[in-house]
Amino acid sequence: MPRFPASGDQKLIQIVNSALDDAARRSGDWLPCRPGCTQCCIGAFAINQLDAERLKRGLADLMQRDRRRAEAILQRARDFVSRFRDEFPGDPATGLLDDGEEGLAHFDDFANDEPCPVLDPETGLCELYNSRPMTCRVFGPPVRSEDGLGVCELCYHGASDEEIAACEMIPDPEDLEPRLIGQAESATGRRGNTIIAFCLAP
C-alpha cells in the first residue's frame, strides 16, 4: 500500500494558518482564544482520514521525543474507546462513523461532554497541537457552512453581524483538502470519517 505523502498536507496547514492569522488580525479582541481555553476540546467530533494520518504521525513523533506524554495520550484514547465502544455510532472495529441518516442523528448526542484524549487534563493544552485536525485549526473565527457563519460562543461578544462577517475566515480557498483526503484514503485503504480516540487507540 502506498505511503501518503505529507508534503501536500504541510502546504494545506500553511494555507490554513495564514488564513487564521489574517482572521485573527481583523478580529482583534473579539477573538480571545488563548492557551488553556478548552471550549473546542470538549465533545467528540468527526475527523477525516487526512486528519487521522496527521495525528498518527504526530503521536509517533511525540513517542520518540517524550514517551511518557505519548503513552498518556494512548491511555486516554483507550479509556475513551472502552467506555464508548457499545454506543459508538459506527463500526467500533474500524472506528469509522456511520454516515447514514440514523448514524448522523446518533452522533449528534454522542460523547458531547467528553474531553479530547489529546487534551492534557492538567495543563489544558493540546499535546499534539501541531498535528491537530482542521476542525481544531478553524474553530473560533467566523467560518461559513451550510448553516451560515459559525463562531465560537466565547468569541465576538458585542460584534454586529456585519462586523462578524468582516472577520470571516476562508480556510482553504484552493479546495486543496478534498484532494488530499482522497489521496489519504487511497493510500491507507480507509474511507470515511472517524473520531480522535478511535484513530489513536490501537
The predicted pLDDT at position 187 comes to 92
The predicted pLDDT at position 36 comes to 85
> Does residue 33 lie in a domain region?
no
Bridge partners of 194? 47
> Does residue 79 lie in a domain region?
yes
End-to-end CA distance of the chain: 19
> Does residue 81 lie in a domain region?
yes
> Does residue 97 lie in a domain region?
yes
Residue 169's domain comprises 7-24+42-200
- Residue 164 CA to residue 166 CA, distance in Å, equals 5
- Residue 84 CA to residue 188 CA, distance in Å, equals 25
- Residue 154 CA to residue 146 CA, distance in Å, equals 21
Grid coordinates belonging to 169: 475566515
> Does residue 166 lie in a domain region?
yes
DSSP conformation letters of 96-120? EEP-SHHHHHHHTTSSTTPBPTTB-
Q: 3-state class of 30 per DSSP?
A: helix
Q: Cell match 492538567: residue?
A: 122
Residue 135 CB neighbour total at 10 angstroms:
15
> Does residue 1 lie in a domain region?
no
Which residues does 118 contact at the CB level (< 8 Å), separation at least 6?
55, 73, 76, 126, 127, 128, 132, 196, 200
> Does residue 164 lie in a domain region?
yes
Note down pLDDT in tens along the chain; length 202 residues. Answer: 345 567 899 999 999 999 999 999 999 999 998 888 998 999 999 999 999 999 999 999 999 999 999 999 999 999 999 999 999 999 999 999 999 999 999 999 999 999 999 999 999 999 999 999 999 999 999 999 888 888 899 999 999 999 999 999 999 999 999 999 999 999 999 999 999 999 999 7
> Does residue 36 lie in a domain region?
no
What is the domain count for the chain?
1
